[in-house]
Structure 1
Amino acid sequence: MANFSRFGCPSEEWQEHVEKYGPPPETPIGKMSTLAIQRSTNVGREETSAKQMKTEGLSSKVDISTVLIYARDNFLIPTRIYTPKQTDFSVRKSNFPVYVFYHGGGFVYGSLDSEDANCSRIVVAMDIIVVHISYRHAPQHPFPTAHNDALDAFDWIIENAETFGGNLGNVLVGGVSAGANLACHVALTRNASLARDYYENNDGAILKGVILVIPWLIINEERFPYQEFAAKEIASRIQCARAPVLSRKVLDFFVDCMGEGLHDDDDINPDVGLVSEKKLRGMPNTTIMVAGNDPLRDDGLLFARNLHQHRVPVKVHIFPGLPHGFRRFDDLPSSHRWDELVVESIKWSLNNPKADSCQDHALTVE
């Protein structure tokens, strides 16, 4: 029986942060309209990203371009491509790995500009192209719009990666929170055995790795596998129900925004953490990062266990006692470790063989 509750108690690192800065403000659910909360949150994220781009000197180190990708309903998906700045034209490189990234925000928050700093840091840390897909958000665009956008944009990237210097033999997907759900959906859909012909017809494109950061993998609460735990109350959905940043109240708010289709869509399964054994066996190397004091903690840890049981190499990184989305607090030492781990995880997947040919199907917990 599962029991990860030891990771849930607030850490000394977090307690020191709260003593110095006070607790983070609660989401004003019921006090502001959903769209007002969305606008305010997006503005704050964009301002923070712009400030970090300036203070860290990221703009001068990365080439940034924006493209619009047609979705299946002809909506144009804003997408941003971050490429290492190449000043020496005599040694220009045009064969970079490609990391396809989906931002977090409960399927409600996030914008094209809000992720500039996050994506640029990865490019500065290693020679790679990062592609950020700004999918449509609820409540304006309920489920499964974000999932469709994620897949449509990914397909375009595979078809066009070589035109912007990408190496189709080294493609990865990843995301944060809700974005990790989208990344997992893409990996499961495009890496399944029935889709192998898809890759073969695209000049040998292959998915090398999946990076899931504080992932939200089980959206329908009624499907959460409480039976897997020694006692229901130790599951993170209950133990961390009143956690800062993301409480169960905020989680329910996000679910309500996604619409009724979330519960009855037959074509897309939003509960990617509960997919069939057949699909899990097709997954590439996977990294999962979780926060200990987070209602979503057990989404990631249970999924890691399932992947390991189905012979997928998995690395798990746990931040005990920290809340969901703690990266926004720059004073936390673990925030900088978050950045390092994303880069290390990408390199690990790029430097390891495909999961289905790997002899050491390890589950590494750090």
Structure 2
Amino acid sequence: MAEYRHLATPHPHWGNYPNNLPPNTRILKLTRDRLPITPQPGLEIEEFNVPARDGYPIRVRSYRQSPVSSTSALPLLIWFHGGGFVTGGLETDDVSCRAIAAAFPLVVLNVEYRLAPEHPFPVGFEDSLDVVRWAASPNTQPTLHTDLSKGFILGGTSAGANFTAGIAHLLVQDTATDPETNSNELSHPTPVVTGILFLAGTICHEDARPPAYQDRLLSIDEITESAGLTKEVIRFLAEKYEAPPSDARRSPLLFESHAGLTLRAAVYACGWDPRRDETLLLEELLRGEGVQTKKFVYSGLPHGFWMTCPDLDESKQWEKDFLEGVSFLLEG
């Protein structure tokens, strides 16, 4: 998207990273850590396992306001962390999941899907899809105290955003396979996804770009050096993940239709990010399908800047924008 090239001029704090950061700036690294839950007043935070299609216990951390009412079912938000499909975990976005649950009466599920290279494509994607189908089941909703007619939101950052887009597409396909029956029709229809949170995500491998979008996906070629995500890093992660570029689960842009994915979408694009144009293109495609969208664009800021340096003013502004986006999705 040539009209967005100006967004790649680095913000003063981020050019020559990390040398221009303010003194004593906290810099966080992605890890696979799973730490004991730290209690937070006003929140009930629990962990449990959801069985994957191969029997693997997928760890999920849930958040909701306390005390929990047994009579009031809540909307549901399922979150997939970032980390290039090879790192990240329950701690990556624990702070954000807590912030959502503290601000809104809903249930948040934070998914610890399996990672490459130990578990290459499509294991992490299928883990995430299995949790979505489990949570959306009429048998599960009474246990979670959720009512998806009040709100059913999928969201994630980077790799997690990629999962969000791919899963949303699969949920509208009539021929989706039921993981329980292995039939060509779901034994229970999945409720409509009412909202999508898409943060700095990828919707197409650079080697599988359709000709119609060649001039719309320029940032992956033009932004080769950025704080936090370079072309070399992208290639390294892709080799570990082992996803075929033309598989639509890796490249959701390749699905034949983008209709019916959701009712509303909040999209967050970083200007100095190889994934910038994919994020902005997804917003355009959804808006073209009649989806109500809210777009946040951060000029000069790199991929996932809010996770790397959460104490900077620009990251604190993102926190406000993030909750604004969730609020927007819950309005529908």
C-alpha distance in structure 2 between counterparts of 1:280 and 1:2, whole Å? 26
Matched ranges for 1:47-196 at <5 A: 59-86=40-67, 94-159=72-137, 160-169=140-149, 170-192=151-173
Aligned to 1:262: 244
Name the CA shift for 1:156/1:331 in 2 (closer, same or farther; >3 Å).
same
Q: Which amino acid aligns with 1:176?
A: T
Q: Which amino acid aligns with 1:330?
A: P
**Unmatched 5+ stretches in structure 2:** 177-183
Name the CA shift for 1:318/1:242 in 2 (closer, same or farther; >3 Å).
same
TM-superposed CA distance for 1:206, in Å, is: 2.9
Q: Which amino acid aligns with 1:336?
A: K
Counterpart among 311, 321, 327 of residue 300 in structure 2: 321
C-alpha distance in structure 2 between counterparts of 1:341 and 1:191, whole Å? 28
TM-superposed CA distance for 1:146, in Å, is: 1.1
Aligned to 1:6: 6
C-alpha distance in structure 2 between counterparts of 1:318 and 1:272, whole Å? 22
Choose 12-21 or 335-344, whichever is displaced more. Answer: 12-21
TM-superposed CA distance for 1:248, in Å, is: 0.9
Q: CA contact under 8 A between 2:172 and 2:261: conserved in structure 1?
A: yes
C-alpha distance in structure 2 between counterparts of 1:252 and 1:115, whole Å? 24
Choose 148-157 or 335-344, whichever is displaced more. Answer: 335-344
Counterpart among 203, 206, 209 of residue 224 in structure 1: 209
TM-superposed CA distance for 1:11, in Å, is: 1.8
**Unmatched 5+ stretches in structure 1:** 26-39, 353-366
Compute the TM-score of the two structures, normalised by the length of structure 1. 0.77
- CA deviations on 1:178-203 (whole Å, 9 max, x unpaired) are 000111111111134667x989946x
Aligned to 1:239: 222
Q: SS in structure 2 opposite 1:320?
A: strand
Q: SS in structure 2 opposite 1:254?
A: helix
Q: CA contact under 8 A between 1:192 and 1:282: conserved in structure 2?
A: no
> Is 2:307 the counterpart of 1:332?
no
Choose 65-74 or 110-119, whichever is displaced more. Answer: 110-119
C-alpha distance in structure 2 between counterparts of 1:105 and 1:274, whole Å? 23
- CA deviations on 1:119-177 (whole Å, 9 max, x unpaired) are 11111111111001111100000001111111111111112122121112111100010
Aligned to 1:213: 199
Q: CA contact under 8 A between 1:199 and 1:206: conserved in structure 2?
A: no
Q: Which has the higher helix share?
A: 1
TM-superposed CA distance for 1:113, in Å, is: 3.5
C-alpha distance in structure 2 between counterparts of 1:323 and 1:46, whole Å? 26
Compute the TM-score of the two structures, normalised by the length of structure 2. 0.85
C-alpha distance in structure 1 between counterparts of 2:108 and 2:186, whole Å? 20
Aligned to 1:296: 275
Choose 162-171 or 73-82, whichever is displaced more. Answer: 162-171
C-alpha distance in structure 1 between counterparts of 2:59 and 2:264, whole Å? 28
> Is 2:255 the counterpart of 1:275?
yes
TM-superposed CA distance for 1:3, in Å, is: 2.7
Q: CA contact under 8 A between 2:14 and 2:227: conserved in structure 1?
A: no
Query: Aligned residues, how many?
Result: 318
After superposition, the CA RMSD in angstroms is 3.1
Aligned-residue identity in percent: 25
Q: Which amino acid aligns with 1:249?
A: E
